[in-house]
Amino acid sequence: MPKKYVIANFKMNKTDSEVAKYIDEFKPLIEKSSCQIVLSVPYVSIKTAVEKVSDSNITIAGQNLNENDFGAFTGEVNAEMLTAVGAQACIVGHSERRSKFNETDELINKKIMKGLRDGLICVLCIGETLFDKKNQKTEQVLKQQITKCLNSIYANELNHIVIAYEPVWAIGTGISATTDEIAQAISLIRKMLSNLYDADIASKVAIVYGGSINEENIKDIARLDDVDGVLVGGASLDPMSFSKIVLAFDDEERTNDKKTKKRVLKK
Question: For residue 264, is it within any domain?
Answer: no
Q: What is the pLDDT of residues 226-248, one digit of tens each?
A: 999 999 999 999 999 999 999 99
Instruction: Tell me what pLDDT residue 262 has.
Output: 52
SS (H, E, C) the chain: CCCCEEEEECCCCCCHHHHHHHHHHHHHHHCCCCCEEEEECCHHHHHHHHHHCCCCCEEEEECCCECCCCCCCCCCCEHHHHHHCCCCEEEECCHHHHHHCCCCHHHHHHHHHHHHHCCCEEEEEECCCHHHHHCCCHHHHHHHHHHHHCCCCCHHHHHHEEEEECCHHHCCCCCCCCHHHHHHHHHHHHHHHHHHCCHHHHHHCEEEEECCCCCCCHHHHHCCCCCCEEEECHHHCCHHHHHHHHHHHHHHHHHCCCCCCCCCCCC
Instruction: Tell me what pLDDT residue 267 has.
Output: 43
Q: Which of 67, 128, 166, 252 is catalytic?
A: 166
State the average pLDDT for the chain: 93
Per-residue pLDDT of the chain (267 residues; tens, 9 = 90+): 568 999 999 999 999 999 999 999 999 999 999 999 999 999 999 999 999 999 899 999 999 999 999 999 999 999 999 999 999 999 999 999 999 999 999 999 999 999 999 999 999 999 999 999 999 999 999 999 999 999 999 999 999 999 999 999 998 888 889 999 999 999 999 999 999 999 999 999 999 999 999 999 999 999 999 999 999 999 999 999 999 999 999 988 766 645 555 554 544
Question: For residue 262, is it within any domain?
Answer: no
Instruction: Tell me what pLDDT residue 251 has.
Output: 85
Question: For residue 263, is it within any domain?
Answer: no
**pTM attached to this predicted model:** 0.93
CATH of the domain at 88: 3.20.20.70
Angle of helix 138-149 relative to helix 179-196, nearest 10 degrees, comes to 40
Instruction: Tell me what pLDDT residue 110 has.
Output: 98
> Is the Cβ–Cβ distance between 147 and 196 less than 8 Å?
yes
Question: For residue 68, is it within any domain?
Answer: yes
Burial of 168 (0-12, 13-18, 19+ CB in 10 A): buried
Question: For residue 28, is it within any domain?
Answer: yes
Question: For residue 194, is it within any domain?
Answer: yes
Q: Which of 67, 94, 96, 103 is catalytic?
A: 94
Q: d(Cα 68, Cα 47) in Å, to the nearest integer? A: 22
Provide the domain limits for residue 20: 5-255
> Is the Cβ–Cβ distance between 235 and 241 less than 8 Å?
yes
Active site includes 160?
A: no
Active site includes 94?
A: yes
Question: For residue 249, is it within any domain?
Answer: yes
Domains contained in the chain, number: 1
Residue type, 191: K
Question: For residue 126, is it within any domain?
Answer: yes
Strand partners, 132: none
Q: What is the pLDDT of residues 191-201, one digit of tens each?
A: 999 999 999 99
> Is the Cβ–Cβ distance between 49 and 23 less than 8 Å?
yes
> Is the Cβ–Cβ distance between 114 and 78 less than 8 Å?
yes
> Is the Cβ–Cβ distance between 171 and 126 less than 8 Å?
no
Listed residue (62, 69, 151) closest to 104, CA to CA: 151
